[in-house]
Structures are given as structure tokens and as C-alpha cells.
Structure 1
Amino acid sequence: MLVLPVPIIVALVLVFLFVRAAVGGKTPKMLMALLLASAGQSVLVGTVQYYGFTSLRWLQPVTASVIPALAWIAFVEASIRIRLHSRDWLHFLVPAVVLLCVLFLPAIIDVVLCSLFVGYGCAILVMLHRQAGDFAHMRLASGHIPSLVWRFIALALIASAISDVMIIAAKTGGNDQIVGVILSVTSSMALLTIGFLCLSPDIAIDIDTNDPPENPASSHIPRNVDITEHKSTMIQLEDLLVGQRLYLDPDLTLARISRRMGIPLKQISAAINATTGENVSRYINKFRIEHACNELGRGQNVTTAMLSSGFNTKSNFNREFLRITGKTPSQWQQQSQAD
């Protein structure tokens, strides 16, 4: 009877997820690369730990260091700029640095890997906090889900560092025999978690080829602006949203709004936050919920009202409806009909 070790099973699952993503054609390239790198790392761990290819053990930390760097670049691609800058590719020098450590400073490898996973995981969490959920190229209809998915990916990276801490503790305590078990189990769990999260449709990047090309300056953080300029930006934004009913587009993104207005997306985000205290998604959803209320008042059912108002998931629609109106869609409709 053929028995496969856990890392090999995880690798097969990740390869399946990669093929599924490739066929679907909606998963961003960097997330697909992260899937493939995770699968490769799992194969390497299984090969070394269970099939006796110990000569490849030196390669494990080098390939492992690719994963947090790829996760960061995928996050940048999704949340900040669709076209990566040359400085973004410098993160791929991380494996070269780790290789040098393997060759000349092997004693610090575990500490270096732990620092990389924790560092990149924390960097994603910090950027999530700074952006307040405003992703450049993700559908605003997804609401808080993209932030939640990326938060879990960041936590999975940090959790991966726990295995390195446990390995260091095991080696220090003279328990070298359990090092392989710790690496296999913890690494497999973290990689599998990252793999499934990568396929979330809510973190797929949406690019409208009919829109004008992205302005490189649109992702830059603007200079300090006064409230007058914020109000001017808001007037232009409302004219665009209401005049063209753009808020009804379920594929609407902050980057698309920025290109239509010819204003840096950071400036739009800052204006909305300064004048309303909300992020872009919540601001847009107020228009959508108002439209949904009108549809419900006309006798449309909840699902029809949801889809016609720019929402594509019932959970996000119900949550936003309750937040804005204080009632569920059904409760609002019943009260409206009673009045």
C-alpha cells in the first residue's frame, strides 16, 4: 500500500490549486507564483525528510525564503500598483542573501528565516492598517473580505516562523530527532493555508482594458492637502458616481475611479476619509444601499435588489445594509410595505 508523507500530499493539493487557478484565469500572476513556490517547498521538505535526499537539505532555507518575498510582492501588486517597479524585484535578492548565509554562516539560518517570515508578515499587516482597507485593484463590492484574506496570509507567514523557533528550541535541547517532524507538520499547515487563501475570488485583481492607462503617479501618496481640495475632490467624485451611476458596477475598483477622474487614488482615498471618516468601499456602498432600498421599495426581491445595486455576495450586502440602515433587507422591505 502506497503511503505518502504529509508534505507530499500538501504539495499535490497545492499543484491542483495552481492548475485550477491557471484554468480559471482570474488569479493574479504573483499569487499563482506563490502557489507554485509553496508546492515546490513542500515537495522539497518531503523529499529531504522522508525519502533520504539529505544532500538537498541546504536548499530548503533558500527556497523557503522565496515564499515571504513573493507574498509581499503579490500584496503590493494587489493593493498598491498593478505594474511593479524595479525596486519591487529587489525582494527576490532575499534567497541570494540566504544562500550566502547557508554557505558562510549556517549557524544563523534559522534566525534569518524566522526574521524574514515575521518581517514580511508584519509589513503586510502594517500596510493593511495604513490603507484602511482601500485596495487599488480589488473590487469594492468585496468589502472587508480582501483585507481579511490578506491578514490571514500575513498571520500564516508569521505562524511559519513558529516552526523555526521550535526547531531552534529542539536543536538547543538536543532533540534533533523531532526537527524533521516539526518542519513537516508546521510547514505543511502554513503552506496549505496560504495556498487556499490565494484562490479567494475576493483578492483577484480586476483590470478594465477600456479605461485609460494607469498613471504611474496615481499610486503615489499625495502631498498634504487642505480641506478645500478634499471638498473639490469629493464634488468631482460624486458627479462621476451619480452622473454615470458608476457605483452600480460590481467590478468597480479604486484604481478605475482614479483613472476616470485623473486624480491619484491616494488623494481620492484621503479625501473620502477626511470628509466622511469612511474608507472608499464603505462610501461607495452608501450609494449602493440607497439604490437597493429604492429597489426593495418597488417590490423587488432581496436577491434582485442586491445584484442590481452592485453587490455580488449576499453576506457583504446584508452586512452593509444592516450597518447603514440598522435593519436587514427583509426587515426594511416589510416596514416599507407596511408604511
Structure 2
Amino acid sequence: MISVPLPLFLTGLAALFGALVLTRAWLAGPAKALFALLAALIMVETALVALRFAYDVQDVLVIQRLLPFWIGPLLYLGYVALSDRAGRLQPALLLHFGLAALATAIVAAWPEIRIVLDVMIGSSYALYALALLHIWRGGPDRLSQLGLAHVAFMRRMMLVGAGLLGLTLMMDTLIALDFARNEGANVGRLLSLASLMLIVILAGAALLSLRNPKTSQPTETPRDEDADLSRKAAAFLTDSRLFVDPQLSLTRLARRLGVTDRALSEAINRSTGKNVSQFINDFRVAEAARLLQETRDAVGAVGEAAGFLTRSNFYSEFNRVMGQSPGAYRKTAPTTGR
């Protein structure tokens, strides 16, 4: 039986990730480029790991030690490009890529400093995992450059990314200790353990995808101007019907209202207890409820017409607002045009 080393399996997963990134039309601009570069880097890194540990090709050791410095920055900057800090992406690129280049140069110049290398790589993984969690804790409205229909998915992927950085940090630490104490005698078992933990993280991501988003609670006492801006946003959405566009983003809505992303996000949160995605989806649910009463269109078609990108998101949000599924609502609601 042909045995495929685990790192080559991860190479295949990275290639799949890269293909998915490149085919997502809604993931445009710098973020797509950064995530595609990340996938390519992981493909090369895991292939080099396979050559080193599975086939004992030690000539790749120097390059294989240099690439990890770029994984965290690429993942983090990809999310910066999707966030409310996208306008400051260029200086962020210079800073983080500059630090990665400096670390790469140090290791390339003094490859024998193994302990320092392990500490530097581990620190990179830890710091960028924390940086991702910082963006995640800012809530859905931090990803203001995304269409609102894609925010929940990318937030789940952010948690997966932070978890994978943490897992890699732990496994690299254990492998470094094994080399120091046992000359790498247990590396094979450690890589197998890493694969099991990877499955756990991916399973956790799948479970997160099934959870319905909870309504945010106001973080501060609402002010009069918050209520005014929320009413202005509601009136604009009602008049323009922009909510039926599934690609509507926080940034786009804020620009139409002549305010900043942050001002709109905070006003809606403080005055309604909802994030912007839930606020807009309330209009979509109301539109879907109207269509369910007045037309004979299929439930899925109603969700699309109301601005929902996926059937699962439509069902989840309709149940959040109406307390029942679209099908159940159609059966009990009074008909006006059917």
C-alpha cells in the first residue's frame, strides 16, 4: 500500500484552500491576493516538511525554517484588508512584512542559532493568533469591507486560523523539545497527534457554522444622535431597498449615509442592541414575510429576492426575527395576494 506522508495531505488541503480563495468572486482585492499567497506558502512549507521528515531530504532545512515567519503576517493582513482598518493596509503591509523580512534575514545569516529560531517562530505564531482574536472580538462589524452575507463565515474562519496558529505553536514547541532531548525520535508520533488536533479544530469550525448568531447587547448607553442615525439608516433602507442586494456591506451603507463605518456600527449597536448585519437582515426578513404572504414563489426564491445569499442564512435569520421557519410562517400568515 502506498503511504502518503501527512504533510503532503496538508499540502493538498492548502491547494484546495487556495483554489477556493481564487474562485470566490466576493473576496476581491488585496485580501484575495494575501490569502492566495498564504495558501501557496503553506503548500511549499508542508511539501518541504514532507521531504525533510518523510524522505530525509535535509537540503531543504534552511528554506523550511524561513517560511514560517510569513504565515502569521499573511493571515492577519488578509483580515486587515477586510476590516475597518483597510484604509491603513499599506503601512500595515510595510510594518509586518518588514518584521518578517528582518526575522528571515537573521535566521538566514545565522542558521545555527536553533533555540533563538524556535523562540522567534513561536512568538510570531502567538502574536498573530492574538491579533486575529483581537479583530474577532471587535464583532461582525469590524469586517466592514465584506458583504454582510459573508461576514459570519469569515469570522468563523478567523477563529479557525487563530486555532491553527496556536496548534502549530504547540506542536513546534513539542518537536523542538523532542529534538533537544531525543534527537527527534518522536517526531512521527507528534505529527500524527497534530493531525488529530487539526480534525478537532475543523470539527469545531463546522459546529460553529451551525450556530445561530445571537443578538448583540448594547455596549454603551444609547445617545439621542445614535437613535437619529439608526432611524436615518432605517429610512434610507426602506426608501432605497438597498437591503435586497446580497453584497451590501457596512462600508457601502455608511458611505451612502455620509458617516464613518464606526459611527454607524456603534450607533446601531447602542440604540438597537444589534449589529449591522442583524439590523439589515431585519428588513430582509420583513420583505421575505411580505413575499410569503403575497406570492406563491418557492421559499428559497423568496429568500433570494429578499437579499439573502444562502438558504441557511435565510432560515436562521427568519427564525431569529419571526420565531418560526419561513414555511411555517406561510402556513399561518394571512394571505393577501395568493
What's the TM-score, normalizing by structure 2?
0.81
* 2:325 corresponding residue in structure 1: 328
Deviations 1:70-122 (A, max 9, x none): 00000101123445222333111224225425617421322322222122112
Pairing partner for 2:82 from 59, 68, 78 = 78
Deviations 1:26-72 (A, max 9, x none): 54111111111111111221222233331331332320121111000
- Mapped contact 1:79–1:134 kept (Cα < 8 A): yes
Distance 1:184 1:34 in 2: 23
Which has the higher mean CA deviation after the structures are superposed, 73-82 or 286-295? 73-82
Please state how far the C-alpha of 1:148 moved relative to its aligned partner: 1.4
* 1:264 corresponding residue in structure 2: 260
Pairing partner for 1:131 from 120, 126, 139 = 139
Name which structure has the greater RCO, CA cutoff 8 Å, separation 6+.
Answer: 1
Residue pairs, 1:298-337, within 5 angstroms: 298-300=294-296, 301-337=298-334
Please state how far the C-alpha of 1:151 moved relative to its aligned partner: 1.3
* 1:121 corresponding residue in structure 2: 129
SS class of match (2:185): helix
* 1:100 corresponding residue in structure 2: 106
- Mapped contact 1:101–1:109 kept (Cα < 8 A): yes
SS class of match (1:162): helix
> Match of 1:155, as an amino acid?
G
Q: Residues 138 and 281 (structure 1 numbering): CA distance in 2 closer, same or farther, change over 3 Å?
A: same
Unaligned runs of 5+ in 2: 206-219
* 1:29 corresponding residue in structure 2: 33
Residue 280 (structure 2) pairs with residue 284 (structure 1): yes
Residue 190 (structure 2) pairs with residue 182 (structure 1): yes
Residue pairs, 1:202-221, within 5 angstroms: none
> Match of 2:160, as an amino acid?
F
* 1:247 corresponding residue in structure 2: 243
Please state how far the C-alpha of 1:286 moved relative to its aligned partner: 0.7
SS class of match (1:78): coil
What's the TM-score, normalizing by structure 1?
0.80
Which has the higher mean CA deviation after the structures are superposed, 148-157 or 95-104? 95-104
Q: Residues 225 and 77 (structure 1 numbering): CA distance in 2 closer, same or farther, change over 3 Å?
A: farther
- Mapped contact 1:289–1:321 kept (Cα < 8 A): yes
Residue 11 (structure 2) pairs with residue 14 (structure 1): no
Which has the higher mean CA deviation after the structures are superposed, 249-258 or 112-121? 112-121
SS class of match (2:186): helix
Distance 1:17 1:142 in 2: 16
Root mean square deviation of aligned Cα:
3.1
Deviations 1:224-251 (A, max 9, x none): 9982332332233123211101111111
- Mapped contact 2:167–2:197 kept (Cα < 8 A): no
List 4+ stretches of structure 1 deviating above 4 A.
1-4, 23-27, 187-191
- Mapped contact 1:140–1:252 kept (Cα < 8 A): yes
Please state how far the C-alpha of 1:3 moved relative to its aligned partner: 5.2
Residue 293 (structure 2) pairs with residue 297 (structure 1): yes
Identity %: 24
- Mapped contact 2:6–2:195 kept (Cα < 8 A): no
> Match of 1:144, as an amino acid?
A
Q: Residues 125 and 38 (structure 1 numbering): CA distance in 2 closer, same or farther, change over 3 Å?
A: same
Q: Residues 105 and 187 (structure 1 numbering): CA distance in 2 closer, same or farther, change over 3 Å?
A: farther
Distance 1:176 1:40 in 2: 22
Please state how far the C-alpha of 1:306 moved relative to its aligned partner: 0.6
Deviations 1:289-335 (A, max 9, x none): 11111111114331121111100111111111111111111111111
Q: Residues 11 and 184 (structure 1 numbering): CA distance in 2 closer, same or farther, change over 3 Å?
A: farther
Distance 2:229 2:47 in 1: 52
- Mapped contact 1:140–1:254 kept (Cα < 8 A): yes
* 2:95 corresponding residue in structure 1: 90
> Match of 1:292, as an amino acid?
A
- Mapped contact 1:6–1:185 kept (Cα < 8 A): no
* 1:212 corresponding residue in structure 2: none
Distance 2:304 2:25 in 1: 23
> Match of 1:152, as an amino acid?
V
Unaligned runs of 5+ in 1: 198-223
Q: Residues 23 and 246 (structure 1 numbering): CA distance in 2 closer, same or farther, change over 3 Å?
A: closer
Count of matched residue pairs: 310
SS class of match (1:137): coil
